[in-house]
Structure 1
């Protein structure tokens, strides 16, 4: 006898020999059902094991960072000579940063199929703009890629350049502040000793005639990751009659993403609330206003997966539980069936012991 044959015959659990077993249709059906159930459980567990999960933790933001980068690429449907851009914050500082922001005359278009109306679906969080690829490792991998160059549709290549594109990165104080796109017939006034800055207008008729329809191709805070899609990226707003104010109120939340391999990505998420006012009220200030505020908390999003040993133990316990539960149920059914069968058998035997001409209390005698 070889070692392999000896090993095969070695069994710590007693088993009934096959010649003493009886196969039934019910038993085969139960075996098929149990096999299908085990397959479904295994499929679910493997899918769950290979699915990445996100763990969110919230902390008080203790980072001593004085400055914050603001990245934007915004096209306004008014010629560059008629527009100005200002940024000011709650510290009272106001900087006209024309020299740090690039202006480019472009053709006006808002019919690009890739654009979304800013009135809908703007608070989806940071993403890759690709279905099924919004996991943390996808975001981290895509953060290093360059964004494709903005292309003007062919039918607008030779059209008049009546719009103005503002793009660049501005480094501002990391405090509450505002960015404002307005007409050249406006200026900035300071109230309460310079602590509050508000736009005012020298030539109201010019500002009311301005068209502030606009597209936002990029608006992000902190390090620039061109390929990642923020809530206001690729959105547009249309001015119906001129002189409207488009207000965006942005709440910035510092966020750190940590991938499954330990790679980190520091960035900033934000949520947006909108305000729209048409011409008429005295407080309406035609233009495009971005009010931003930094939340005092920090969010850490970590990508996690079930440990392999935990997955293995859970899978084995579930499969074993199915076998044990099925065996217990079959045993209970078998016991109940056996009792019913024995009761019927005894009743039949008792009936067969009584002759046709014999009954209790009525005995016939034969000569």
Structure 2
């Protein structure tokens, strides 16, 4: 029995011997060690509750899904009436004036909203035909306005400035100069011209396109196709009138996932000259995120490079002023998988924290206690003055 007692690493103090001593320094060490222990325990609990993340890289074999593009862009010095957003992909499918989930909000020059956001309009062949049919019905009951040589069987009369423009689009002709069109002088288009550069515009929302490489852009002027060529009608302005300074508040592809960053968020691009073309070349990496509950999210990450140039006939730089985004899809996919941490590992670390802090605190308390006792004895012997 005596040999077993020698193995006890926790010797007990007999209270009846009156040697149990409580000190002020011991109380301070106890309070500090308790605080440290609590902080370390909270950190360990937070670490345990945060799932670990594993990454895998493999070839993307998914097919048939759509690519969701989320955007929120502000053009501070061009009115919403002059801006249009268009998208197209490498399959040849072209979307003019995407409106289904895209909104425009008028802003003053200080960036404050002027009115509630409005959905943009789609202009396609069906819409043009509907406009022509409506104009034909009106023309049969009202005076028939001149179409300036662009009259057709479906659009014989042009009583408004917009109908003259539609007639030219049907003919695949270049847009007319509003200053030479009688209908445009008393039309709302003159009001649009008046506010063209005294307002800003916020374009935001999302669109879903085919999951292939493609592009979309925000540019001044009404967009349409002439002989399969995409053009913008900016009359009566010239390209140098347009200041394409813009702020990209948000741009992403797909859903947001933990740890995902969007490199273009809160990016401001300043146009130092008029008629600037801003290119944003985007490389999209498909991403799969698997949660601990087994649910799977499909999204995308991306990187971007930028380029800008000024459109000028004198320098030979062709194009049109605007903000252009060109994106390509990587053939590789990244997979993130959440994994819950081991409870055994958590329990082991918790015991290590409690035992370690308790032991170190005991050593410090013992060192302080014996140091103070030694100094007190020397003072009593008269060795300290």
Aligned equivalents of 1:341 and 1:105: distance in 2?
Answer: 82
2:37 corresponds to 1:41: yes
Is 1:22 the counterpart of 2:19 in the alignment?
yes
| Residue in structure 2 matched with residue 274 of structure 1 by the alignment | 306
Instruction: Point out the more displaced range, 199-208 or 47-56.
Output: 199-208
Q: Which residue of 1 aligns with 2:160?
A: none
Higher deviation after alignment, 332-341 or 288-297: 332-341
Q: Residue 87 of structure 1 aligns with which residue?
A: 88
Does 2:320 correspond to 1:288?
Answer: no
CA contact (8 A) 1:245 1:276 kept: yes
Query: Aligned partners of 2:60 and 2:285: how far apart in 1?
Result: 13
- Kindly indicate whether the alpha-carbon contact (under 8 Å) linking 1:250 and 1:272 is maintained by their aligned counterparts in 2: yes
SS of alignment partner, residue 94 of structure 1: coil
Separation in 1, partners of 2:117, 2:205: 20
Structure-1 residue corresponding to 2:283: 251
Whole-Å separation in 2 of the counterparts to 1:213 and 1:343:
80
2:278 alignment partner, SS class: strand
The CA distance in 2 between the partners of 1:297 and 1:187, in whole Å, is 35
- The answer on 1:314 being equivalent to 2:349 is yes
C-alpha distance in 1 between matches for 2:20 and 2:234 = 97
Query: CA–CA distance in 2 between the matches of 1:239 and 1:282?
Result: 19
* In 1: Cα distance, 2:364 partner to 2:353 partner: 16
SS of match in other structure, 2:12: coil
Deviation (angstroms), 1:198: 10
What's 1:141 paired with?
Answer: none
What is the Cα deviation at residue 18 of structure 1? 0.9
| Partner SS for 1:63 | coil
**CA pair 20-241 structure 1, distance change in 2 beyond 3 A:** same
Question: What is the CA–CA distance in structure 1 between the aligned matches of 2:247 and 2:330, rounded to whole Å?
Answer: 26
CA distance in 2, matches of 1:224, 1:325: 45
The 5 Å alignment of 1:193-272 reads 206-214=238-246, 216=248, 219-222=251-254, 230-232=262-264, 237=269, 239=271, 241-272=273-304
Q: Measure, in 2, the Cα distance between the counterparts of 1:81 and 1:340.
A: 87
The runs of 5 or more residues in structure 1 that have no matched partner are 1-10, 114-151, 190-196, 349-367
Q: Which runs of 5+ in 2 are unaligned?
A: 1-7, 119-190
Question: Counterparts in 2 of 1:9-158, with a 5 A limit?
Answer: 15-24=12-21, 27-51=23-47, 52=50, 55-73=53-71, 77=78, 80=81, 83=84, 85-89=86-90, 93-98=91-96, 101=99, 107-109=106-108, 111-112=110-111, 152-153=113-114
- Tell me the TM-score normalized by structure 1: 0.56
Deviation at 1:165, TM superposition (A): 5.0
- When residues 234 and 35 of structure 1 are mapped into structure 2, their CA distance, relative to the original with a 3 A threshold, is closer
**Distance between the aligned counterparts of 1:326 and 1:185, measured in 2?**
76
1:101–1:168 CA contact under 8 A, matched in 2 = no
| Larger-Rg structure | 1
SS at match of 2:275: coil
1:174 to 204, 212, 235: 212
Q: 1:72, 1:217 within 8 Å by CA — same for their partners in 2?
A: no
SS at match of 1:39: helix
Q: Which whole-Å CA distance do the structure 2 matches of 1:166 and 1:72 have between them?
A: 8
SS of the equivalent of 2:33 reads helix
Change (3 A) 1:19 1:104: closer
Aligned-residue RMSD, C-alpha: 5.1
The alpha-carbon deviation at position 290 of structure 1 amounts to 0.4
Contact 1:68 1:221 in 2 (8 A): no
Give me the whole-angstrom Cα distance separating, in 1, the residues matched to 2:203 and 2:86: 11
Task: Check conservation: 1:54, 1:301, Cα contact below 8 A.
Answer: no
Residue 87 of structure 1 aligns to a residue whose secondary structure is strand
Q: If the length of structure 2 is used for normalisation, what is the TM-score?
A: 0.54
The count of residues paired between Structure 1 and Structure 2 equals: 284
